[in-house]
Structure 1
Amino acid sequence: MAIWDWTRRSWSPIGIEVGSSGVRMVQLSHDGTRLHAMGRRELPPACDGDLYSGDRQTALIDAIDSLRAQSVFRGRRAVVVLNDRQLLVQNLRVPRVSELSLPDLVERELAERLPYPIGQAEVRHVTVGEVRQGDRLYREVIVFAARSETLHHIVTLFDKAGLQVCAMDVEPAALIRSFLHEYRRDEDRASRTLMVHIGTARTVVLVCGEGHPLLIKYLQIGGRQFDQAVAEHLDMELRAAASLRRHQGDRRASRRDPDVLRSVREATRPVVERLISELAMCCRYYSVTFRGSPLSRVLLGGGEADADLARLISQRLNLAADVAQPFRHIRAETPIEDAPAWDVAVGAALRERYASPKPAATQPAECRT
């Protein structure tokens, strides 16, 4: 006789990404195979980069109320994604042999980099592997730190919006989960992938292998910089430039105005070149730090991801490049046209679906830095 498991939930937590331009919410079936609800609302510009201050607090609560009223989100449980606006993310090297424990070593190194006392921080770390620097071995560690007061403020804000924050997620982890859900083959997961998520205000770059982060870096390059470049080049208002760029990007290739498209590409070329230069430096850092496992592909996600940019990055980095499709194995009633923009929110909704993976196998490298 079958026995009902009353403790098992039918739906995932609501994955929530609060970004520079708006908030995204996604809820999936518990096994991650079906889309249950999703929605996005615009938010006012962030003041001094703080996504949860000023007028944004009221606007965020109103946006969540609106999304929950118009969509069929189930329950109150939410996974909220933290990014570089709330986090300090650092790759650190600590001695392989020390009288101190690894957490103590990490905190000692981190204390010099935090803009506030270490006692006010919540700190987590991921051990990446061992690297050789000269004749000594070090442990490469990725550290995430957030001010406790900031986390409490975010939890309180979502509580006012009627949601219970069951977990705080970090953006790179959400991106890796989205990748694991999209790429199912063992060889894809084991290979080293350069993930590039281009948002409105900045880009997160990470290298992952076997579901484990090896390198994380945030770049101050995003859609806003592309819009500003077009506005200056064509002597337009910023809003008009953004509309022009989106309008051309949303059209099928056969319906694009070639003259306008040429002007947009010419205007954004310096920003694209700067982005590719930064990606090339990340690739070089990875190659001299972790030998024996070369990068196999680039996965481009975020609201600024498109096939044209992926092709250009592929040519310049000499790597295969794909545009992320986070809903590839998730059934939805209608096609989702801006799917790459949802990779972070989908990854947050998948938090309970994927257990924390084991660290990727790495070999000591001769580091030249």
Structure 2
Amino acid sequence: MNWLWGSKYTPIGLDIGTDTIKLVQLELSGPRPRVVALAQRRMPELDEEADEPQRSEQLKQAVAALLSESGVRGRQVTLCMNGTQVFVQNLRVPAGAEEQLEGIVQTEAEQRLPGEFGEVEIRHLLAGEVRGTQHGGEPVELKHEVIMLACRRRDIDSLIALAERLRLKPQGLDVPQCALARVVTSTMRRKSDEHQCLLILDLGASGTNVIVTRGQSVLMIKPLPIGGRLIDRQVAKRLDLSLPDAAALRQQCQDQPDQIEDELLRVVDETVRAHMEALGREVIRCVRYHSVTFRGSRIAKALLFGGEANQAVAGILARRIGITCELGDPFVGLELSDELRRRVRLRRVGMWAVVLGLCTKARRVAA
């Protein structure tokens, strides 16, 4: 993997998620990119009674502290929208309409976006050509599968304003689904990888992103509202706990199960399994949509990323969807010091995938 940049260092990748704030920076002067800054901290408990300027100031202080302790170089940054702020829709448009594609996507967005969405910024990905069949087996019109991505303008402006208040210099803005796909596809350089289809699952706090790629192309993106927060709420309800206490219990059940009472372990395990079974059913629908849309394109395996990805979850999903599920490692091909490697291993490796994708957004050149 070779990179061409105007600087020795990439812009800082900054991901302000639902539960955590993460940043990463790479150095590009050696034979392989090297991680020189990597840090994360929990999102601050924002005062629900505080007004927007006060909440913004709390968030600013948290990000400023993370920047200070991380040892980043420079002030250039690539930002990421929170997954809950991104509206995703797969569309079909007639083939040959490439010149009008932007207008078509804009019209579709006006029809499909919720009325309260407000002023938006819209982008699209061209997934590929598709051709359906009529009931008699005759082929129908060739069309393009398009992925529409929309974000509220006020959310974008708020994120950029936060960066500028921190004296950062935004160089790019991304969505988590594209950042994650970039990390995975950047390692696919062999000829045999060109047609390999992967199912990528990003299991986070607010939900799960389902992404299907083929070679370097993104074929499908589907956000699902099943994530860690939903599981924590159910655990809290069953055990009559506060949400923070339920989240802490679930974490302890994963890290130190021998120190938890059997009944508590049973409740947490049942709750996690029920939600992963539900997630599996939704993923199966996504796989079916892909197989019908892109005929003959078979998914080779699933890669799991995100803070909720672990071996137990991979096992449950593999049995439910009938596809081999592996935990993804976004640090493949990167150099890390022993200290940073130790820090990465303290938590789930997959949680760093999106923020690493932000580092490599601009001016990437593959060998």
TM-score, normalising length: structure 1: 0.85
Is 1:155 matched with 2:154? no
- Work out the CA distance in 2 between the residues paired with 1:58 and 1:111: 34
Q: Distance in 2 between matches of 1:304 and 1:16?
A: 20
Larger helix proportion of the pair: 2
Partner of 1:284: 288
Higher mean C-alpha deviation, range 219-228 or range 133-142? 133-142
- Letter of the 1:241 counterpart: A
Instruction: Provide closer, same or farther for how the CA distance between residues 53 and 350 of structure 1 changes in structure 2, counting only shifts above 3 A.
Output: farther
* RMSD (CA atoms): 2.9
Contact 2:46 2:58 in 1 (8 A): no
**2:358 corresponds to which of 344, 348, 351:** 348
Residue of structure 1 aligned with 2:17, choices 19, 31, 45: 19
Question: Retained in 2: the 8 A contact 1:177–1:354?
Answer: no
Deviation at 1:311, TM superposition (A): 1.4
Which string of whole-angstrom CA distances, capped at 9 and with x for unpartnered residues, describes residues 144-175 of structure 1?
Answer: 22233432332122100121110001211110
User: In 1, Cα distance between the equivalents of 2:65 and 2:154?
Assistant: 27
Percent of pairs identical after alignment? 33
* Contact 1:44–1:56 (Cα < 8 Å) also in 2: no
1:332 aligns with 2:336: yes
Is residue 180–residue 189 contact of structure 1 (8 Å, CA) maintained in 2? no
Amino acid at match of 2:78: V
* Paired letter, 1:214: L
Structure 1 residues 297 and 119: CA distance shift in structure 2, 3 A? same
CA contact (8 A) 2:172 2:362 kept: no
The aligned counterpart of 2:322 is 318
What corresponds to 2:234 in structure 1? 229
The verdict on how the C-alpha distance between 1:16 and 1:189 changes in structure 2, with shifts beyond 3 A counting, is farther
* Structure 2 residue runs without a partner (length 5+): 135-139
Alignment of 1:234-245 (within 5 A): 234-245=239-250
Q: 1:167-218 CA distances to partner (integer Å, 9 max, x unpaired)?
A: 0012111101221345565535641111111111111111111122111111
**1:47 and 1:301 mapped to 2: Cα distance?**
30
Partner of 1:33: 33
Q: Work out the CA distance in 2 between the residues paired with 1:314 and 1:240.
A: 30
Does residue 268 (structure 1) correspond to residue 272 (structure 2)? The answer is yes
Deviations 1:216-252 (A, max 9, x none): 111111111111222233333322221111012124x
Task: Write the letter of the residue equivalent to 1:277.
Answer: R
Contact 1:91 1:142 in 2 (8 A): yes
Q: Which moved more, 1:110-119 or 1:162-171?
A: 110-119
- Equivalenced residue count is 347
SS of the equivalent of 1:319 reads coil
Partner Cα distance (1:306, 1:17) in 2: 21
Alpha-carbon distance between aligned partners in 2 of 1:185 and 1:255, rounded to the nearest angstrom: 46
Tell me the distance in 1 between the aligned counterparts of 2:20 and 2:237.
Answer: 25
Superposed displacement of residue 260, structure 1: 4.5
- The residue type paired with residue 229 of structure 2 is R
1:259-298 superposed Cα distances (whole Å, 9 cap, x missing partner):
6443321122221111111111111111111111101111
5 Å-filtered alignment, 1:23-172, equals 23-30=21-28, 33-44=33-44, 55-97=54-96, 101-115=100-114, 120-133=119-132, 134=134, 135-172=140-177
The answer to whether the Cα contact below 8 Å between 1:204 and 1:218 also exists between their aligned partners in 2 is yes
Cα 1:151–1:232, aligned 2, differ >3 Å: closer, same or farther?
closer
- Residue deviations 1:67-108, cap 9 Å, x none? 222121011111111244333221111122559712222222
Distance 1:221 1:189 in 2: 31
DSSP 3-state at the match of 2:131: strand
- Matched with 1:365 is none
Indicate the residue corresponding to 1:297 in structure 2.
301
